Structure 1
Amino acid sequence: MTKKRLGPAKVDRTFRPHHMLEWTMATCVVLGMLLLFIFVRPQQPESLASADAAQAMLDFRENMPSASTANRIGQVTVGAAAADVLEVLGASAEDAEAAVDALRRTGLVDRKRMRPGTALTAYFDESTLQDDTSRLIAVSIKPNARHTLLATRQADDSFFVSVLTARLVTSHRRAAGRIETTLPAALVGAGGTPAHAAALAALFPDDPALSTGGQKGERYDAVFEVAEDERGNFIENGDLVFAAFNGVTSHGSWYRYTPGDSGRTEFFGSNGVAAHPFLTRFPIGRVAINSGFGQRYHPLTGQLHLHTGIDFRAPAGTPIQAAGDGIVTFAGFSEGYGRHIRIRHKRGYETLYAHMSGFAGLAAGATVNSGDVLGYVGDTGSATGAHLHYEIRRNGRYVNPMTLELPSGRNLASEPEEFAAFLRQKAMIDTLRGGTVSDMLTASNFLPVTQPTSP
């Protein structure tokens, strides 16, 4: 028994003077459809965006229905959602909604609305192309650079989605030169991203200007990963793997490497030494922890709240040391923290030391170095006993001092096998840069750039 296909109700467009209201409504429907066609901007099948789209469909040949099909292409716009586009291309309202819902269930398409500009290729049964609505056989979209989706009609008239994931090959690109405007602009112009510029700047914390773009004339050299498909088409940028900088206030070079024993990726200097931690997790040494970071019931109020730091157990009077170099921004008393000190560090970090019994002669505005004594453990403020409450904030947000990714200061040169593996990767990166000696940043000329003198 052939299942009757549902379609939209036909509109009677015959003009009858005594049915003026019906004629007006019909006119509105026609105008509405014309406007929708304008929004959708359907294209002819010959105008595929690229040969890649056609190639992607060849990869789906086994998933396509056996019926003879014809395809039409439309584009999601601000004024026309995906289901609207399919209806304009000729699908019934029911088929359009079913196909779009199936695509959304993959999790690769926005649950509410596809992005404007998303192209949909609709495949119809050729035998129904003369009807007001055509039998939708399949719908193909490319929601991102990695994936292509094909929703095909099943025997029960539901739609099943096949997902094609591009096979990626990792290659590398180099960006090197002098800053003309800003470091992000320079890297983006060479095929990198603002994220690469931020990662490079983070490796040189002694140069605060670099995090905001650097200065004209400063030299940079960066190598980053690039993901490409099997045909060599660019898919997306990957991680920064090498960074060198020759600026007014800082200079150096760093190689990204993942030791086999720890699995922790860090940047190491050419001598195999990782960046030294600029903050410590243990401002009074490795002592017992009373309470960790996260949600807990407050010991005094009994209310569930976020415990914003780590409580270290220690006898009253234990010296508290600065976690890193910085400037004291507050040294005083509050009801909750008791006597406490705040220190502003580089890279947007801030530390706080609370419940102190006394200060070591410090006041707001004082400069401290890592390891300097700030004060002593106590139980002032909202405390049930002597301990240090220690917080770290990054760009104003609380972070867990125990899980925060900090440089290790590890020296691979003391580990022969690991150091040999690092040197092999370093040699590969140097080759990518055009040889072991860069034309622009050689060991002999890698010196600080001097500020230009006034004429």
Structure 2
Amino acid sequence: MTQPPQMSPDDVQHQAIREQNLRAAAENTANEARYADPRDAAARFPFNGRWTRRDWAHASLFATLGALVIGMVPGFSNAMRTGGEGPQLTTLSLPLPPLSATPRAQAAQQRAWDLAKVEKGQTLGAIFESRGIPAATLHRLLESSSDRQALTRLRPGAELGFDQAADGRLVAFRYDRNDTQRVELSLAGDQVVEKVIERPVEVRTAVISGKVGKSLFHSARKLGLSPSVINTLTDEVFKYDIDFDRDVTSGDRFSVVVEQTWREGELIRSGPVTAAVFTAKGKPFTAVRFERDGKGEYFTAEGRPLKKSFIRSPIQYARLSSRFGTRRHPVLGTSRMHKGVDYAARSGTPIMAAGDARVVSAGWQGGYGNTVVLDHGKGHTTLYAHMSRTARLRRGERVSQGQVIGYVGSTGLSTGPHLHYEFRVNGVHRNPLQHTMPPPEPLTGTALAQFRQQTAPALARIRDVEEVIYATVPAQPSQADAQVAAASVPRGNRG
């Protein structure tokens, strides 16, 4: 027999490797044939019982994604618990209560009001015409309104409201009948529907105190006092004792008790002044309001009327340019007695009667120019000269204190616009700045008791405010030593 040739060790190793590769290829072919069925897809990835790092990473990723899906999808977690332990949750669809019709009705009633304020001298017809509203529409409103007279007599500053369609047609109109009532007139076809809205007001008693800065008016307005209240202080309450052009300086103090009317959080009116204390050049002046015989008057804290027979100056906000006494006449150039005082002011400044009087004369008097002479009784007369013109006065006519009797000018022997003012007692000239009249009689008896009872709370409020702000200042009713304060107590609603 022929013996097969002997194989070298290398050939034996190569043959063994070739046979191993052939067996592996055969096994792979058999596996592919056995797992070709797609229904047995999981067998394509045989698991040998040990997890690799890659298997753990994949498992963690899928677990995290599953937790996120369960937490984010509503109802998914509840569905997963179905059939499990613990209580089962059931979702029910409950009907919601019907929406109230009130908000919708209120929204429908809200209108886009275009507001306008009545200017001085402006009429309702002119306002409607400026907005392109026909006069026929205005007549319909006047005929249907129960306040025809109120609409035809609008006061300056009154607020009107207009609701107009895109084509300019008037849909509704509103105005304030008074402080507590607002009237709305709605136009629906040929009909005008009137609606009255009640607007309650609240009256508060406020104490406002402060110091005079550059001017009394500026300081008082900054603290909230209205111009009418400031004018009451200067032109009515203290005009007999304080010359606000010369006696008031920076640093002087004032305290005012005033009634304020509020509506819907808005201050609509101030006054009257219940009590006031003004300290000018270190001297305090007190005034308290009290009704006597149905008429409101101002008295001192002791009950003596503040109103005197004569006011200190017949002209407001004027500069004293020449005093009483001997001087050199600016026109004649001679030295002669100046029998009055001169107040320099702009031409046309009103001149007031110094006291209640009867007109003696009103007209031209030589070097005096246009002049008015008044008789105040008991031998007292006053003269007002160099006027640009006098008021319409007749001889014997009665005039009241503070009434305008003429206007500043420069007629007669005058070098510039000013008022020459003379004061005479039984025909003898007296210095108006120094002559004093006997004080008026104070309240007595029952009137004085009523006065003290009614005015004590107002003076106490001023004292309380000043004690809080100036603890070192003695608390006396006649002292106004407050810097900046405002306190208010409501008195109640008025509807």
TM-score class, shorter: 0.3 to 0.5
TM-score, scaled relative to structure 2: 0.43
TM-score normalised by L of structure 1? 0.46
Q: Larger relative contact order (C-alpha < 8 A, sep ≥ 6)?
A: 2
